[in-house]
Amino acid sequence: MHDKTLTQLAAAMSAGELSSVELTHLMLQRIAAQDAALNSFVSVTEEAALAQAKVADERRAAGDAGPLTGIPIAHKDIFCTQDVLTSCGSRMLENFIAPYDATVVANLQAAGAVMLGKTNMDEFAMGSSNETSYFGPVRNPWDTETVPGGSSGGSAAAVAARLCVAATGTDTGGSIRQPAALTGITGLKPTYGRCSRWGMVAFASSLDQAGPMTRSAEDAALMLAGMAGFDERDSTSAQRPVDDYAAALSNPVKGVRIGVVQEFMGEGLAAGVASSVTAALDELRRLGAEIVEVSLPNAGLSVPAYYVVAPAECSSNLARFDGVRYGHRCADPSDLEDLYKRSRSEGFGPEVKRRIMIGTYALSAGYYDAYYLKAQKVRQLIAKDFRQAFEQCDVIASPTTPDTAFRLGDKADDPVSMYLQDIYTIAVNLAGLPALSIPAPASGGMPVGLQLIGEVFDEARLLNVAHQLQSVTDWHQQAPAGFE
Q: Does 82 bind other proteins (CB under 8 A)?
A: no
Q: Does 232 bind other proteins (CB under 8 A)?
A: yes
Distance CA(379)–CA(369), nearest Å, equals 14
Q: Which of 362/389 has CB closer to other proteins?
A: 362
Alpha helices in 184-270 (DSSP H): 217-227, 245-248
Q: Does 320 bind other proteins (CB under 8 A)?
A: yes
Q: Which of 297/333 has CB closer to other proteins?
A: 333
Least separation in angstroms between residue 171's CB and other proteins is 16
Q: Which of 107/216 has CB closer to other proteins?
A: 107
Which residue is catalytic, options 19, 76, 237, 398? Answer: 76
Q: Which of 34/236 has CB closer to other proteins?
A: 236
Whether 175 is a known active-site residue: answer yes
Q: Does 336 bind other proteins (CB under 8 A)?
A: yes
Q: At what angle do helices 20-34 and 6-14 cross, to 10 degrees?
A: 140
Which residue is catalytic, options 19, 40, 175, 216? Answer: 175
Least separation in angstroms between residue 231's CB and other proteins is 9
Distance CA(445)–CA(184), nearest Å, equals 11
* Beta strand pairing call for 166-171 and 395-399: unpaired
Q: Does 429 bind other proteins (CB under 8 A)?
A: no
Instruction: Judge whether 126 and 142 are in contact, CB under 8 Å.
Output: no
Distance CA(297)–CA(131), nearest Å, equals 32
Q: Does 322 bind other proteins (CB under 8 A)?
A: yes
Q: Which of 215/379 has CB closer to other proteins?
A: 379
Instruction: Judge whether 282 and 169 are in contact, CB under 8 Å.
Output: no
DSSP character string of 133-150: -TT----BTTBTTB---S
Is the preceding peptide bond at 152 cis, omega within 30 degrees of 0? no
Residue 39: closest CA among 149, 164, 140, 186: 140
Q: Does 199 bind other proteins (CB under 8 A)?
A: yes
- Among 14, 205, 251, 473, the residue binding other proteins under the rule CB under 8 A is 205
- Among 93, 147, 161, 163, the residue binding other proteins under the rule CB under 8 A is 93
CA distances from 452 to 19, 178, 435 (A): 35, 12, 5
Q: Which of 92/147 has CB closer to other proteins?
A: 92
Q: What dihedral angle (degrees, nearest 10) is formed by the CA atoms of 447, 452, 456, 457?
A: -70
- Among 37, 330, 363, 412, the residue binding other proteins under the rule CB under 8 A is 363
Q: Does 201 bind other proteins (CB under 8 A)?
A: yes
Cα-based angle 226, 232, 237 (whole degrees, multiple of 5)? 65
Determine the distance from the C-alpha atom of residue 371 to the mean position of all C-alpha atoms in its chain, rounded to a whole number: 27
- Among 94, 340, 402, 442, the residue binding other proteins under the rule CB under 8 A is 340
Instruction: Judge whether 53 and 85 are in contact, CB under 8 Å.
Output: no
Q: Does 161 bind other proteins (CB under 8 A)?
A: no
Amino acid at 278: T
Determine the distance from the C-alpha atom of residue 205 to the mean position of all C-alpha atoms in its chain, rounded to a whole number: 15
Q: Does 346 bind other proteins (CB under 8 A)?
A: no
Phi-psi region of 465 (alpha: psi -120 to 50; beta: other; left: phi over 0): alpha
Whether 384 is a known active-site residue: answer no
Q: Which of 53/210 has CB closer to other proteins?
A: 210
Q: Does 13 bind other proteins (CB under 8 A)?
A: no
- Among 41, 96, 264, 406, the residue binding other proteins under the rule CB under 8 A is 96
Restricting to residues 253-312, name those near other proteins by CB under 8 A.
Answer: 312
From 133-141, 227-235, 389-397, 420-428, give the range in contact with other proteins by CB under 8 A.
227-235
Distance CA(78)–CA(151), nearest Å, equals 10
Which residue is catalytic, options 20, 40, 128, 151? Answer: 151
Sign of CA dihedral 192, 193, 198, 204: positive
Q: Does 338 bind other proteins (CB under 8 A)?
A: no
Q: Does 233 bind other proteins (CB under 8 A)?
A: yes
Least separation in angstroms between residue 439's CB and other proteins is 31
Q: Does 368 bind other proteins (CB under 8 A)?
A: yes
Q: Which of 79/348 has CB closer to other proteins?
A: 79
- Among 9, 31, 73, 102, the residue binding other proteins under the rule CB under 8 A is 102
Q: At what angle do helices 459-472 and 217-227 cross, to 10 degrees?
A: 150
From 14-22, 199-207, 247-255, 431-439, give the range in contact with other proteins by CB under 8 A.
199-207
Q: What dihedral angle (degrees, nearest 10) is formed by the CA atoms of 176, 449, 410, 127?
A: -10
Residue 108: closest CA among 36, 191, 210: 210
Number of residues near other proteins (by CB under 8 A) = 44
Q: Which of 15/365 has CB closer to other proteins?
A: 365
Q: Does 239 bind other proteins (CB under 8 A)?
A: no
Q: Does 88 bind other proteins (CB under 8 A)?
A: yes
* Residue ranges in contact with other proteins by CB under 8 A: 79-80, 86, 88, 93, 96, 98-100, 102, 197-202, 204-206, 232-236, 312-313, 315-316, 318-322, 324-326, 336, 340, 360, 363-365, 368, 372
Residues annotated as catalytic (active site), given as ranges: 76, 151, 175
